[in-house]
Structure 1
Amino acid sequence: MVFSFSATPDFDFITQFARHIQATLHAGVLEMPEQLGQGYIRKLAFGPDFKITLHHYLLREELVINRKASELGNELITVFFYNNEQPLGIAYDDNSQVLFSRHDDSEAAIQVTSNDLSSTIRFPAHQYIHYVVVAIKPARLKELLAVSNPNSVLQTITGSGNSFLFFERMAAETSLLLQKITAVDMTDNLSSFYVQNKVQELLYLVFHKLSLRESAAHQPINSADADRLLHIRKAILRELSVPPVLRELAQRAAMSETKLKQLFKQTFGATIYTYYQQARMAEAAFLLKHGRHSVAQVGYELGFSNLSHFSRLFEKHYGQNPKKFSAS
């Protein structure tokens, strides 16, 4: 099933999607028809410039959501929270697909974007989908944040006419908040008030992290750039035993080395090599905890010829050496 829409500020996803699948809305809730699957989509509005949509369903067929760019510039900020255990695909080009899977989805599970970027999201069939979308206009977000001296990231997001894409990792605290929001009893008279407060707490966690990023001149980004960045990220994560070579990545991305370095750090919050090392250590932690691998096996599998160097680097990231971490 394919659903396409243009990301204009006044677009109402749940209403248009209900028409697309020929279903009926009841008090802001769309129950999935039995022939399509089970679950629901729920919308809550906290005014004309601030709303949240909760997606919680299992479908009998793959769902592809094509979000077409608005031509109005940054008139709406969209924050996506992908809280799925199973892989999902996201792309900024109709002809490509990048999967978020086990060892990398938590690192890019939160996406903050302007509404002038196109995207394609593929949700797999026969698997529960949990994702939340917060849509807020720049002026309302700026009022909520009330930052007296914002860094360049917050200035870009709350400013006018900027094209941007930022990814953040899904921390445990954020995941727990999403679970609380999804589990709210909406028959309670104060449920909307409760959810609004929790959503603002959710936004605090995201924008607090973004506020700590290095303040640097913002580089404009378009859908083609965004798609190339996802493919570069995927290439880095595909073979964690081999350090990335900037020249080769730049050629693959059809970008200059300078542009790739700038856009990658801007989008993911770390340099290419730092991002690689963080992912490498996260994979090491996973293998030590769940893979029943020895420290030596993990080190060699991730390309370390010197196990002492591996241990020092791991301890720097996790506060314990690999042996203690594995046993804890």
Structure 2
Amino acid sequence: MPQPKLQETLSYWSTTFNGSIENNCVSFNNDIASGSIKGEVFSDDLYLLKFDVFLHNDLSDLGKNLVNDSEYVNFLFGQQEVNASKYIAFDLERRIDLRGVVVSNDKKSLNWFQPAKVPLKLLLLKVSEENFFRLVNKSESLKKSIEKEKSFTQFDSLDPVMLGTLLRMFEIDDPIYGKELMEHCANYLITLTMSKLSVNSIDNDDSSLNMNALFHARQLIIDKKGADIPIEFLAKESGMSVSRLRLLFKTFFEVPIYQFQQQIRLEESKKLLLKGDKTQAMIAMDLGFSTSSHFTAVFKKYYGYTPKEFKKNQND
């Protein structure tokens, strides 16, 4: 039974957040974070962790030293909240903005960075390898793309039914049938995910194959702080055509590349404004805006207030 591993995992999170454990639930409300992490074991083949956390300070390497339950495949679901600083990762050497589902048998510990002041709602389903590959073997296309003896990590967006089921799992509060409802929803999410991955592979959608390349392109933009990197350069670095990169980037991250670059630039501008060692004109020039007035116009259109108003409000 996975119960001992669940207990070890909950103990890890209790230590991390200085919380207390009761009835397979870690609760905390302190200077580190507030919220809860609930665990539930359904069978030898399935258990889950449900995260509803709000950090008061940035934390890195969350989950780095979790129990190694490599005989289980991870299904990690994140609610679709637009926030350029929200990252989840399965030790992929770069951060993934999770607004969908990651399916992985990565033998390393689950590890992520979480910024402060951003609500974190994640559902981690642990499915036994035996049951997972029973589902894989139903699809000829998945059998070709997912091999049992090899490490794999696949990503997909959430369709409306998947998102609705995920939201429902955070709303279930039935003292009598809650566990049964949760188990049915969990199995439904797993099946929906496998079906979506299968359909994509049948349609020759190579999104999963291009996943790391997509994240590489995205990380290049973040590392360059949103600088206007030519799309041709990003495509070459990612090993894709320009048209394919544009299509997949918008499909997965739900924002065009140029718009994402602008979001990152504006987030960086906030940091520089608060730091206070550069003028607004210098910040505009450093981040590639044509003029200071152009920077002000873009900033106000995106946030609803000017850079000066932002800085004044933060200092008040």
The answer to whether the aligner puts 1:39 opposite 2:39 as a matched pair is: no
Give the alignment partner of residue 127 of structure 1, picking from 118, 127, 152: 118
- 1:253 paired residue number: none
More divergent stretch after superposition (234-243 vs 74-83): 234-243
TM-score, structure 2 as length reference: 0.62
| Contact map agreement 2:9 2:67 (CA 8 A) in 1 | no
- 2:159 paired residue number: 171
Q: Secondary structure at the match of 2:43?
A: coil
Residue pairs, 1:72-221, within 5 angstroms: 75-83=71-79, 85=81, 86=83, 87-91=85-89, 97-98=94-95, 100=97, 106=99, 109-117=100-108, 120-143=111-134, 145=135, 148=138, 150-154=139-143, 157=146, 160-187=148-175, 189-214=176-201
Pairwise CA distance, 1:244? 3.8
- 1:298 paired residue number: none
- 1:232 paired residue number: 217
Q: Secondary structure at the match of 2:217?
A: helix
Per-residue CA distance 1:27-72 (angstroms, 9 max, x = gap): 1111113343322111111113311111012121223314469999
Identity of aligned residues (%): 15
Closer, same or farther: CA 24–121 of 1 in aligned 2, 3 Å: same
Whole-Å separation in 2 of the counterparts to 1:129 and 1:48: 28
Whole-Å separation in 2 of the counterparts to 1:176 and 1:272: 33
Pairwise CA distance, 1:174? 1.6
More divergent stretch after superposition (12-21 vs 236-245): 236-245
| Contact map agreement 2:72 2:127 (CA 8 A) in 1 | yes
Whole-Å separation in 2 of the counterparts to 1:204 and 1:122: 28
Pairwise CA distance, 1:185? 0.7
- Structure 1, unmatched stretches of 5+, are 1-8, 251-259, 262-270, 288-328
Closer, same or farther: CA 29–52 of 1 in aligned 2, 3 Å: same
Whole-Å separation in 2 of the counterparts to 1:75 and 1:60: 34
Closer, same or farther: CA 236–244 of 1 in aligned 2, 3 Å: farther
| Contact map agreement 1:80 1:111 (CA 8 A) in 2 | yes
Q: Secondary structure at the match of 1:81?
A: strand
User: Counterpart of 1:82 in structure 2: which amino acid?
Assistant: G
TM-score, structure 1 as length reference: 0.60
- 1:264 paired residue number: none
Pairwise CA distance, 1:275? 4.3
Closer, same or farther: CA 79–58 of 1 in aligned 2, 3 Å: same
- Structure 2, unmatched stretches of 5+, are 260-316
The answer to whether the aligner puts 1:274 opposite 2:259 as a matched pair is: no
Per-residue CA distance 1:173-201 (angstroms, 9 max, x = gap): 222111100110142x1111111111111
Closer, same or farther: CA 46–249 of 1 in aligned 2, 3 Å: same
Pairwise CA distance, 1:120? 3.5
Whole-Å separation in 1 of the counterparts to 2:165 and 2:148: 30
User: Counterpart of 2:72 in structure 1: which amino acid?
Assistant: L
Whole-Å separation in 1 of the counterparts to 2:144 and 2:96: 30
Pairwise CA distance, 1:210? 0.8
